[in-house]
Each structure stands twice: as C-alpha cells, then as structure tokens.
Amino acid sequence: MSVQTSAYATDTLPADTVDVVVIGGGAAGLNGALMLARSRRSVVVIDSGTPRNAPAEAMHGFIVLDGTPPSELLRRGREQVRQYGGRIVSGEVISAEPAAASAEGDLRFSFTLADGQTVTARRVLVATGLRDVLPDIPGLAEHWGRCVVHCPYCHGWEVRDEPIGILATGPASIHHALLFRQLTDDVIYFTRGTALDAGARARFAARSIAVIDTPVQEVVSSEDGTLAGVRLADGTLVPRRVLAVVTEMQARTEGLDGLKLPVEDLPDNMGRRFASGMAGATDVPGVWVAGNATDLTAQVGASAAAGALAGSHINALLATADTDVALTAAEGVPATA
C-alpha cells in the first residue's frame, strides 16, 4: 500500500468516501486520527511534512516523551495510526470545500491535493498547526529553534544560566522576560521601540533585568555558527548566547478557504487562529479544529490531547449519524410476518 517519497512513506488515497480526513499530521492530527482509527473509522491524514518544531533538537514538557526528537515522535505516531488501519498521505491540500450530501443527507467534503489527487470525506479535522513569524532582524532566523527560542517551557531548561536577551515585540514580551529570568540571572531586555512604562522598568530593576532602548541592528553569529550577540544601531555589540522572542503566530490556513472557517485575531498583534468551541467544534457543521491552529500557545502534550478529544467527539457524532441512517432505512422496510 505504501510507496517511498522524500518526506516519508506515504499511503495511497482511497477511492471511496472515508469517514474523516485529517489535515495536518502533527501531534494533534495524529492523535485525533489514532482515536478515530481505533474506533474503526476510515481515516486519512494528509500532511505536508513541515512541522512547526522541525528546527528543534527535542521536544520537552511532555511526560514520558520528554527529550524525544520531533521527527521520532512523528515517525512513531504515523506507525501507530497505520497499525489501526489509518492512512498517512504525504501531500498538500490546495482545495477543501463542502460537497453534495449523500442520498441519506449525510455531510460530504471534497479535497484536492497539489499533485491533483482527490478524496472525499464525511467529516474533517483541521490540525494544520501554525507558522511563527519572527521580527525582521538580520541574522535572527538562522538561529531559530536553537539559540533563538520562544517558549520557556519548551527550551528553558536547556538555556538555563546562559546570558539571555529578550527581543521585545509587544506587551507580551514583558512577562516573557520574567519567565526567562527564572532560568538565569543574566537577562537583558531590548525594547526595540516598544513601550515600557516606569512600572515595568521598576519591576525589571527589582529582578536585575537590564533594559536597552537603543535600536537593534542585527544578530551576530560566532565563527562556530553559534550566537555571539546583538549589534545595536550605535555599533555596540551586546554579547548574548541566547535570544528569546514572542513570535507572531499565524494559523496555517492555506488551501482551506472553501471551508469558510471562522478566524480571529489575537490582541497586540500576537497572531491569528481558527475559532473553535468545545472539543474543537467550529461553526461549520462537520468540521473540527485541534492543536496550534486554534490554540496558538499549546505545547505538544496539549495539542495531542486536543486532537484526541476532537477525534472522540467526531466519532460520537458519526455514530449518531450512522444510527439515524439505519433507523430511516429500517422504518422504510415493511414488517415481515
């Protein structure tokens, strides 16, 4: 059933309508698919193979799996979904939209992949994750996921006791600095033109967090490729081994316009997400969202849990739909003597 691609082993798309298509094969998508496959639902995960945490050497804060490389988590997750009959397809969805309902009135959705393949499903779980948008500072992006980090819980222990710089992007960076101050005594806050009132400066001073208001010009690398520090507009090089930044987090929405899912902006330009309710249900009947696509701050464990909850919710409603169809069929059959 599988052929090899550059991303990972990929399964063939089924010709028949499946119960659920999962868009995105990260922790949320795979755990949702696992719950569905274990409930004997036909499920296809379509994944582009570009997870948010790919630059990281390991994921943390997920009990038992703490320290596992992201690629290993995905490999094992795909293997487990397949173990229960689920399919994992390497591809990119370029079109997703409602299709004509079944003869019994059940929902249908159609999907087209970048290579032209198509598949139809009764329900949809969107688990596309998000994209981190970094400040436009020369030299910053090349260190992303290693010397440039965003989450004190994901990366904090690994950078403890290092000289850390906070590159401010907005009000959330103030609390960000306090969280990283828990991990090291050496923190410098680069305001980068963002507001920092007297109260915040006093709180920083009380925790020995230095503040630099001079504009940042670039991030400088050492000869060995690690981080050397931050060069200011006046030419000063401020040595730093680690930089922390609150990114702008944008849910991956490409190819999904046809579903007409509601989206909402977070305050202070922190990002944009798919809006969802209980168990990831959306305002669009038959479509659920789980993981970072709707919860921008969820770590791997929380995303996996959200995927499991959404998967179980989808299965429960499909069970009701199946029963409705069976009841209608039974009522239309004349009673036998």
Domain boundaries of the chain, sorted by first residue: 2-131+248-331, 135-245
Q: What's residue 124's pLDDT?
A: 98
Task: Give yes or no for a contact between 290 and 309, defined as CB atoms under 8 angstroms apart.
Answer: yes
User: Which CATH architecture fits 135-245?
Assistant: 3-Layer(bba) Sandwich (3.50)
Low-confidence residues of the chain, pLDDT below 70?
A: 1-7, 333-337
Alpha-carbon distance of 303 to 15, in angstroms, equals: 30
Q: What is the pLDDT of residue 333?
A: 60
CATH topology identical between 2-131+248-331 and 135-245: yes
Query: What pLDDT sits at residue 268?
Result: 84
Place of tokens 């959404």: 310
Q: Which two tokens stand for residue 247?
A: 């990114």
In this predicted structure, what is the pLDDT of residue 337?
31
Q: 140: closest CA among 229, 51, 48, 37? A: 229
The helix-helix angle for 300-331 and 27-38 (nearest 10°) equals 30
Backbone angles phi, psi at 177, to 5 degrees: -60, -40
Strand partners, 113: 93
H or E element: which one contains 287? Answer: strand 287-289
Whole-number Å distance between alpha carbons of 168 and 192: 6
Output the CA–CA distances (angstroms, integers) from residue 265 to 112, 234, 248, 303, 323, in the order listed: 28, 36, 11, 20, 39
Residue whose pair of structure tokens reads 């060069």 in the numeric block: 231
Give the pLDDT confidence score for residue 312 in this predicted structure.
98
Q: How far apart are CA 210 and CA 126, in angstroms?
A: 42
pLDDT one-digit tens code per residue, 163-186: 999 999 999 999 999 999 999 999
Is 177 in contact with 189 (CB distance < 8 Å)?
yes
Residue 102: closest CA among 127, 128, 125, 120 = 120
* Residue whose C-alpha is closest to residue 127's, from 319, 316, 311: 311
In CATH terms, 2-131+248-331 corresponds, of 3.90.1170.50, 3.90.1010.10, 3.30.300.30, 3.50.50.60, to 3.50.50.60
pLDDT tens-digit readout, 107-136? 999 999 999 999 999 999 999 999 999 999
Pairing outcome for strands 18-23 and 43-47: parallel
The residues, ordered by sequence, that sit 6+ positions from 167 with a Cβ below 8 Å of its Cβ are: 135, 137, 140, 173, 190, 192, 216, 230, 243, 244, 245
Joined together, the tokens standing for residue 142 give 């090349």
